[in-house]
Chains A and B, each alone.
Chain A
Amino acid sequence: MRLIDIKLLWRDWRGGQLNLVISALVLAVMVVTAVSLFADRVERGLNQQISSFLASDLAVRGGIEISEEYRSKALELGLNTADTASFRSMVFAGQNNHLASVKAVSRAYPLRGEIELSDDLSVGNPMLKSNGPASGEAWIEARVFNLLDIEIGDKIEVGYLSLTVSNLIVNEPDRGSGFGAAGGRVMISLEDLPASQLVRPGSRIGYRLLMSGDNQAIRAYQDWYQQREQALKKSSEIKHFRLVTPENAEEQLADTMQRGRAFLLLSGTIGVLLAGLAMALASQRYASRLTDQVALMKAWGQSSGAIRRSQFTRLFLIAATSTLIGMLLGWLSHYLLLEVAKGLLNVELPGPSSRPWIVAMITGFVCVLGFALPALWHLPTIAPLRVLRRDLPDSLLGQGKRLAIGITALLILTYWYSESLVTSLLFLGALFALFGICALIALQFLKLVQGFGSWRGSFTRLGLANLWRRRGQTLVQLVGFSTTLMLLLIVTGMRTNLIAEWQAQLPDDTPSHFVYNVADNEVQSVKQLLKKAEVGTTDWYPMVRGRLVAINGEAISRERMAQSDGLSREVNFTQTTELPVENNVIDGSWWQAPPTGLEFSMEERVAAEIGVGVGDVIEFSIGGLKFDARLASTRSVNWQSMTPNFYVVFYPGALDKYAPNWVTAVRAAKTVAAERGALVKQAPFVSSMVREFPTAVVIELGDIIGRIRDVINRVTQGLELILLLVLLCGALVLFAAIGVSYDERLRENAILRTLGSSKKIIVGALTVEYATLGAIAGVIAGAGAEVVLYFVQKNVFDLVPQWHPSLWLLGIVSGTLLITVLGLLRSKDIISVPPLQSLRQLG
């Protein structure tokens, strides 16, 4: 590296010739750094959080004690382990009793996350613990205190055990949100379990082997487990166990995360693309400024090789410094994003991995190689004769070649971001098809507009004539403007859709509680109580638990049983004449009139899993009594709807004799959700329910809903921030595109003014020119966004596609305004510099 190269670079920078190239590069790196640092840290954080929902990184669960091989493999891989056993059992305190959800945990529990405890019923001083109760102790949830009417320090009986209640459980990491957690929680030590004598043949106990450790070991365990599962399938042994991973533990959250990351990535790529476009345009201008310099250098005897080396040195310096600055700014702005996302994650965010930094660095250098270098490539080959004959053509690298290099660079980057060649090819293919179509449409518009010019006022004619005369450049600008605008509109539209979809999943009347286990004869009184407390409910469903025992007269084999959750365990049945909300009949038909025999409807996925269809006869067993029923229909069920959902729905009458319990979802006031676990803050109806109907169970959903709402709000704010960065990239493209025709405009306007055109006419012509450009770009952008959103809505979000007149309006208005304002701003010198000076400046 020679000193002179640094000097030359410094002088170019000082002259403002590098401003756009460098700002585009800095911005590209900044966007990518911010987005990938943010995504990386949040993803790692979320994984940790999901781990804490699991209380581990991985768990093996089963209805029988976890086999030794699973444990010894974990130990062999160096994983930490803990055990839990969950079951429902009556607990007693004096006269009172409660059907509790007992969880016996080993001392190491929880491996991830912490149990929030308090030794004070008003939850004055919550503390965090990362191990389970000691032998002889029990920790219980607030409502169990209430139900059993006890204080901290009192004794309760669990099976044959007598335990001292030492703490109130405010929150536990793997509490879960399903019906499994129906009874109030009583947590005891696993060491005490045998003494309780609650574990007997036939008891329904959920065992879990929890594991935690480093990523590599966890992955190794997962691989091993999969192989083992394959082997099991072949040997047709019964599958007793299931692997629980963070991904399948909290599917909805994982799903959101997946989409969020895809969105971030797409925004990042769009940012880079726009910045790349700006860079290519700016580099082209930079190159034309360098042409004289290089021709002179060659006349002075600098060899092409020396000039090429100097060029590389300079570009390397540009790339290195811009990338560093971009990384720094990106690092700072990722804190802004994190600030927005704060509170989304209960966990302390882990530091980023090295990947975002590598991604940022590669982005910087690939951008320089892909967008700046091609525009500058021809410089060393400039003929020295050019110093005498300035009309010699530059052997500029062909447009086609430059485009190909730019595309390759983008491909490398998108591949690097998405780690999928197909995705990046599709993405870029679509993008360039878009460019082509934009250019074609833009050309038609230009032709159209050019016709208007002939019968309008003088500056309108001048402005429109300018557009047409420079149609090559105009097209480049139009493609740049319209794709920028289009991408912005798409991002805006997608955001609206994302929110719409999320909100559709969580309507305002989302239930806050489930009321469960209400006896047949209590239903009327409970309804009255709820009515008095002014809380609304969804439909009431009778519910009994039962099993499927035979299909079409053939007993269900153990192999077949292993295939589906729906077969291998007791499931909840209900009966109703109305199709439950958010259920859709897929096959067969819902009952219009009472059927002749017993009939039922089944959830489609379970039906598919166990291989039954409409018309098949299934034998059910409820409480030891067996009966046959015909499958009348299959239904799809929205499991995320937070209303009671059932695999199996009978036509009314079938379940009457099995003494069903009733279940409903309740909507109580919002404020209740805030204070989890605190006894005093519970919804008023809960305490009266608990007092008057001790066997009924109330589960609070409040904090789950609050959490999801919070996620949506914060995620949208984060998206808006990223949009802002993309918008900046768009503005750069605008500046760079105007820069392409800058010298020419400067000269022309100087000549016009020397010839006596008033400033007003020149400003007027420029305004007409930019406004027309902006409006055309807006129309193309609106149309393009509409098309893209149509497919996105249809295929990605499962929404009914809708028109977006507001987006069209936004596109046209913002396109016109933005481009006119930025254009005039950029052309300030063209208008204000005295004509003589601008002529001299250009030489």
Chain B
Amino acid sequence: MTETILRAQNVSKHVRTADHQLTILNDVSLDIASGQSVAIVGPSGAGKSTLLGLLAGLDTPSVGKIWLGEHEITATNEEGRAAIRAKMVGFVFQTFQLLGSLTALENVSLPMELSGQTDARLKATEFLGKVGLAQRVTHYPKQLSGGEQQRVALARAFACSPKILFADEPTGNLDQATGQKISDLLFELNQQSDTTLILVTHEQRLAERCQQIITIDDGRVVSQT
């Protein structure tokens, strides 16, 4: 058995609305081994994104504990979680989240520059090559198609060599063919880099490529394979 990189223990998330308390996640427990690829599936509104946010340390649960690597992120404050995120975590989003005023190359190198890596540009160029955009490094997001933008986002996520990569519906905004290419690329890069992949998706085919599928509905884990 490989070591556990991500563990959630009896995690619940409640939010207060105007008239009553809403339970978005209810007593979720998970154990994810390092290097695994995991899909979180479920109907819209089930709480997938909420769970992803909690696991990535972007938000805190109302109840329960979460460990990222050896750090218990629920026991630390936002600054502590930020430090852990900086060390371990990468993201890919449904809406790509590229910065419009930056070129493809700058978008990819930005997180590395922020963490003070000196070879940021070099690595960024390398990863843009890996995603097949070597010719487009100086282009701005608005000059790229959706698929191309998501490829830049993938390059950006993997260039930092995160231990664990969170992806929220990475193909959700793309047509089927493009989505297919993006998921190919995602798994290819994942294999090369030995990263743990946590993926939220609606798409059965994408989920099936993962080693593990967690299904949630109405805030509860209903199956785990």
Q: Which residues of A come within 8 Å of B, CB atoms?
A: 4, 7, 11-12, 14-15, 17, 289, 292-293, 296-305, 383-385, 387-390, 837, 840-841, 843
A-B contact pairs, 15 of them (CB 8 A): A4-B114, A14-B101, A289-B100, A292-B97, A293-B99, A296-B99, A299-B91, A300-B85, A300-B86, A300-B160, A301-B115, A384-B58, A384-B78, A388-B93, A390-B95
- Does residue B111 face the partner (Cβ distance < 8 Å to A)? yes
Residue of A nearest to B106 (CB): A11
Contact partners of B82 in chain A: CB under 8 A: 298, 301-304, 384
Chain B CB count within 10 A is highest, among A7, A292, A300, for: A300
Contact partners of A297 in chain B: CB under 8 A: 114
Q: Are A303 and B113 in contact (CB under 8 A)?
A: no
Across the A-B interface, the 9 shortest Cβ-Cβ residue pairs: A301-B86, A15-B101, A301-B85, A385-B58, A384-B58, A385-B59, A301-B82, A300-B111, A303-B82
Contact partners of B89 in chain A: CB under 8 A: 299-301
Contact partners of A841 in chain B: CB under 8 A: 100, 142
Cβ 8 A contact of A302, one of B53, B86, B99, B168:
B86
Contact partners of A293 in chain B: CB under 8 A: 99
Q: Are B114 and A304 in contact (CB under 8 A)?
A: no
Q: Are A4 and B113 in contact (CB under 8 A)?
A: yes
Query: What is the CA–CA distance of A15 and B83 in the complex, to the nearest angstrom?
Result: 30
Q: Are B114 and A299 in contact (CB under 8 A)?
A: no
Contact partners of A7 in chain B: CB under 8 A: 113
- Does residue B52 face the partner (Cβ distance < 8 Å to A)? yes
Q: Are B97 and A387 in contact (CB under 8 A)?
A: yes
Contact partners of B49 in chain A: CB under 8 A: 388-389
Contact partners of B106 in chain A: CB under 8 A: 11
Contact digits for B93-108, partner A, Cβ 8 Å, 1 yes 0 no: 1011101111000100
Query: What is the CA–CA distance of A11 and B78 in the complex, to the nearest angstrom?
Result: 28
Query: What is the CA–CA distance of A305 and B82 in the complex, to the nearest angstrom?
Result: 11
Given A301-B84, A301-B86, A303-B82, does the pair A387, B91 have CB atoms closer than 8 Å? Answer: yes
Residue of A nearest to B54 (CB): A385
CB distance from A221 to the nearest CB of B (A): 62
- Does residue B79 face the partner (Cβ distance < 8 Å to A)? yes
Query: What is the CA–CA distance of A648 and B97 in the complex, to the nearest angstrom?
Result: 88
Cβ 8 A contact of B100, one of A4, A15, A303, A304:
A15
Query: What is the CA–CA distance of A788 and B99 in the complex, to the nearest angstrom?
Result: 48
Chain B residues 123 to 154 lying within 8 A of chain A, measured CB to CB, are 142
CB distance from B112 to the nearest CB of A (A): 10
Contact partners of B56 in chain A: CB under 8 A: 299
Q: How large is the interface on B (under 10, 10 to 19, 20 to 34, 35 or more residues)?
A: 20 to 34
Contact partners of B95 in chain A: CB under 8 A: 390, 843
CB distance from A454 to the nearest CB of B (A): 35
* Given A299-B56, A841-B142, 4 extra CB contacts under 8 A: A15-B100, A302-B82, A388-B52, A388-B168
Q: Are A385 and B53 in contact (CB under 8 A)?
A: yes
CB distance from B32 to the nearest CB of A (A): 19
CB distance from A22 to the nearest CB of B (A): 15
Query: What is the CA–CA distance of A363 and B96 in the complex, to the nearest angstrom?
Result: 41
Q: Are B79 and A304 in contact (CB under 8 A)?
A: yes
Query: What is the CA–CA distance of A296 and B58 in the complex, to the nearest angstrom?
Result: 11
Cβ 8 A contact of B97, one of A296, A384, A840:
A296
Given A12-B101, A843-B95, does the pair A302, B58 have CB atoms closer than 8 Å? Answer: no
Given A11-B102, A841-B142, does the pair A303, B59 have CB atoms closer than 8 Å? Answer: no
Query: What is the CA–CA distance of A15 and B89 in the complex, to the nearest angstrom?
Result: 29
Given A297-B114, A301-B85, A304-B78, does the pair A837, B142 have CB atoms closer than 8 Å? Answer: yes
Residue of B nearest to A837 (CB): B142
CB distance from A154 to the nearest CB of B (A): 86
CB distance from B25 to the nearest CB of A (A): 14
Contact partners of A300 in chain B: CB under 8 A: 85-86, 89, 91, 111, 114-115, 160
- Does residue B14 face the partner (Cβ distance < 8 Å to A)? no
Contact partners of B115 in chain A: CB under 8 A: 300-301
Query: What is the CA–CA distance of A388 and B111 in the complex, to the nearest angstrom?
Result: 18
Query: What is the CA–CA distance of A384 and B83 in the complex, to the nearest angstrom?
Result: 13
- Does residue B87 face the partner (Cβ distance < 8 Å to A)? yes
Contact partners of B99 in chain A: CB under 8 A: 292-293, 296
Residue of B nearest to A302 (CB): B114
CB distance from A753 to the nearest CB of B (A): 18
Residue of A nearest to B173 (CB): A843
Contact partners of A385 in chain B: CB under 8 A: 53, 58-59
CB distance from A378 to the nearest CB of B (A): 15
Query: What is the CA–CA distance of A4 and B113 in the complex, to the nearest angstrom?
Result: 7
Q: Are A388 and B101 in contact (CB under 8 A)?
A: no
Given A11-B106, A301-B85, does the pair A389, B53 have CB atoms closer than 8 Å? Answer: yes
Residue of A nearest to B146 (CB): A840
Cβ 8 A contact of A388, one of B58, B78, B100, B160:
B58
Contact partners of B111 in chain A: CB under 8 A: 300
Contact partners of A17 in chain B: CB under 8 A: 101
Query: What is the CA–CA distance of A11 and B106 in the complex, to the nearest angstrom?
Result: 9
Residue of A nearest to B87 (CB): A301
Q: Are B83 and A301 in contact (CB under 8 A)?
A: yes
Query: What is the CA–CA distance of A300 and B157 in the complex, to the nearest angstrom?
Result: 10
Residue of A nearest to B56 (CB): A299
Contact digits for B53-91, partner A, Cβ 8 Å, 1 yes 0 no: 100101100000000000000000011001111110101
Residue of B nearest to A13 (CB): B101
Contact partners of A840 in chain B: CB under 8 A: 142
Q: Are A11 and B86 in contact (CB under 8 A)?
A: no
Contact partners of B101 in chain A: CB under 8 A: 11-12, 14-15, 17, 289
Residue of B nearest to A18 (CB): B101
Query: What is the CA–CA distance of A301 and B53 in the complex, to the nearest angstrom?
Result: 14
CB distance from A11 to the nearest CB of B (A): 6
Query: What is the CA–CA distance of A302 and B93 in the complex, to the nearest angstrom?
Result: 18
Q: Are B53 and A388 in contact (CB under 8 A)?
A: yes
Residue of A nearest to B52 (CB): A388
Residue of B nearest to A386 (CB): B58
Residue of B nearest to A843 (CB): B95
CB distance from A245 to the nearest CB of B (A): 60
Query: What is the CA–CA distance of A841 and B100 in the complex, to the nearest angstrom?
Result: 8
Query: What is the CA–CA distance of A296 and B85 in the complex, to the nearest angstrom?
Result: 12
Query: What is the CA–CA distance of A384 and B80 in the complex, to the nearest angstrom?
Result: 13
Query: What is the CA–CA distance of A74 and B95 in the complex, to the nearest angstrom?
Result: 81
Contact partners of A292 in chain B: CB under 8 A: 97, 99
Query: What is the CA–CA distance of A372 and B85 in the complex, to the nearest angstrom?
Result: 30
Contact partners of A11 in chain B: CB under 8 A: 101-102, 106
Contact partners of B79 in chain A: CB under 8 A: 303-305
Query: What is the CA–CA distance of A648 and B99 in the complex, to the nearest angstrom?
Result: 84
Residue of A nearest to B60 (CB): A385
